[in-house]
Amino acid sequence: MSAINVARARDVLAKTIGPVPWYWKTFPAFRSLAGQRFVWTHHGDQGPIANLVTLGLEQEQDKARLALNTYCRPFLVPPHFLVPPHFVGIWCPEGRNLRLVCFDPDQLKSFDLAEVAGWFKPSSDRIYSASPPVADFEVPLALEPGMHKLEVPVQLATVDELIVPTSYKAMSNDDPAFALFVFYPQAGLVEVLPQKWFTAAQYRVGQQWITRAGRDPESHRIVGECFGVGTFVLEEDGCRLEEWVERGG
């Protein structure tokens, strides 16, 4: 049994960002270097921009500056002398890769939501902006288990850790159907942790999936949430299930 109880697991997950559109309320509001406050807006579940989440200035939320499609997740990039506060990063699955991008919010131009109405939601595009990102790179989903070196853009190199749950190619019903890609941008590394317990033989893959995962600061264990099942804690290796601390969800 782990030392992580329900309350502690909930606290970890409360600080863990989940995917568009279901977890948009976990997205962080922030101030840019110019002092502008940016907030996120969810556009409901009906109509041509249903379930899109956009970023805009607090005082003009009707003017979008960044639009995110299903499964995208933003994260704040810690500042250093080359990276002012707060650059905003986005990660998302894109084709056979995981894509990580970084934007300077003060450079984001506003656009009319009519530009994305209708076509963006059903498209394979995950991110829409009228301004280019300051950094953009991809990592193949086919990476083998274990640690791998990365060439991380300097704009993202201040990020300590980013835990990315993603589907993983399973060759049989007994192979892991999900993995955690744990990025360590400061160190220029990514560790691939196949979830050996999450197989098609044991779970309804697609209907049940790992929505988000974070690290408990005391035990350093990974705590995660599996849609349709509950909240779990992994063993020290990050690949095996130690226990369910809460069922349901």
- pLDDT for residue 248: 77
In the chain (249 residues long), the average pLDDT of successive 10-residue segments reads 84 96 94 90 92 94 92 90 74 95 95 90 93 96 96 93 95 95 97 97 94 96 96 97 89
Q: Which residue has the tokens 């697991």?
A: 9
- pLDDT for residue 83: 55
- pLDDT for residue 231: 96
- pLDDT for residue 61: 78
- pLDDT for residue 81: 59
Beta-strand runs (E) in 29-142: 30-31, 37-42, 53-57, 66-68, 73-77, 87-94, 97-103, 127-128, 135-140
Angle formed at CA 111 by CA 57 and CA 136, multiple of 5 degrees: 85
**pTM of the full structure:** 0.94
Q: Report domain extents, the chain.
A: 6-247
φ/ψ of residue 122, rounded to 5: -80, 0
- pLDDT for residue 249: 60
- Number of residues assigned to the chain: 249
- pLDDT for residue 96: 93
- pLDDT for residue 234: 97
